[in-house]
Amino acid sequence: EVQLVESGGGLVQPGGSLRLSCAGSGFRFSSYWMHWVRQVPGKGLVWVSRTDTDGSSTTYVDSVKGRFTISRDNAKNTLYLEMNSLRAEDTAVYYCAREYVLLIGANRYYHGMDVWGQGTTVTVSS
Amino acid sequence: EIVLTQSPGTLSLSPGERATLSCRASQSVSSRYLAWYQQKPGQAPRLLIYGASSRTSGIPDRFSGSGSGTDFTLTISRLEPEDFAVYYCQQYGSSPRTFGQGTKVEI
């Protein structure tokens, strides 16, 4: 069964740090781009970050740049999100998701995020 | 940043009816890189449509997507009870990838 399972969420004080993990199974983890998306309960989805297949290329939404770091360990089939200098507005459910990106020459062809984890909750509060 | 605006915010329909959801982008979406996701309470989003009109494996053919440029539509031809949920569009042709605010389809 193709599956993504997040862990590492919890309660942290403002200014604190947390590392989220996302374990993939049932598919070739190293062949997929990986994303983090967050959602405040009752609100909409916000894309946070993504990494390519080997972690050499990463991008972030402006609100987390310089504070969050996405990384992956393909040997462990695991994606990470290191979150520092946490703020109350970072409180959300964090989902990881995979995306197949086809490379043909210098061109990339994206396919959307087709498998998602169940989410892990991060609460930033004193 | 591309801003996606979905309308209506809420769609009140009955099973068997047709649902038409709109997603308008603040600028042209590259290569029709527009996806639609369905989310039910307490669940993760599920990818329905990618590339504006391609259905993901396992998605019933009552779901269809269309559009290009700045205007996109998700159509559910005949609503089933399990289709009542929140639907989000997302553009993934430019960074940052952005989502619309969602359309709730309710009974």
Q: CB distance A116–B46 less than 8 Å?
A: yes
Other beta carbons less than 10 A from residue B82's beta carbon: 10
Amino acid (one-letter) located at A99: E
Q: CB distance A110–B100 less than 8 Å?
A: no
Nearest CA-CA partner of A33 in A83, A75, A72, A76: A72
The confidence band for A19, taking pLDDT boundaries of 50, 70 and 90, is very high
Interface of B with A (CB under 8 A): 33, 35, 37, 39, 44-47, 49-51, 56, 88, 90, 92-93, 95-102
Tell me how far CA of residue B105 lies from CA of A97, B6, B17, in angstroms.
Answer: 24, 12, 11
Of B46, B56, B88, the CB nearest to A45: B88
Query: Residue A46: its chain B contacts at CB < 8 A?
Result: 99
d(CA A125, CA A80): 22
What six digits make up the tokens of A68?
């969050």
Q: CB distance A112–B102 less than 8 Å?
A: no
Q: Which helix (H) or strand (E) holds A37?
A: strand A33-39
Q: What is the mean pLDDT of residues A66-78?
A: 98
Of B50, B98, B101, the CB nearest to A112: B50
DSSP B50-89: ETTTEEPTT--TTEEEEEETTEEEEEESS--GGG-SEEEE
The confidence band for A103, taking pLDDT boundaries of 50, 70 and 90, is confident
Other beta carbons less than 10 A from residue A74's beta carbon: 16
What six digits make up the tokens of B4?
């996606």
Contact of A61 with chain B, judged by CB distance below 8 Å, is answered with yes
Give yes or no for residue B31 having a pLDDT over 80: no
Q: What percent of chain A has pLDDT over 70?
A: 100
Q: What is the mean pLDDT of residues A47-57?
A: 95
d(CA B9, CA B22): 10
pLDDT tens for A83-101 read 999 999 999 999 999 999 9
Q: CB distance B45–A116 less than 8 Å?
A: yes
pLDDT of residue A105: 87
Q: What is the mean pLDDT of residues B43-71?
A: 95
Among A39, A111, A115, pick the best mutation site for testing chain B contact (most B Cβ within 10 A). A111
Query: Residue B37: its chain A contacts at CB < 8 A?
Result: 45, 113
* Half-sphere exposure of residue B44: CA atoms within 13 angstroms, side-chain side: 23
d(CA B104, CA B107): 10
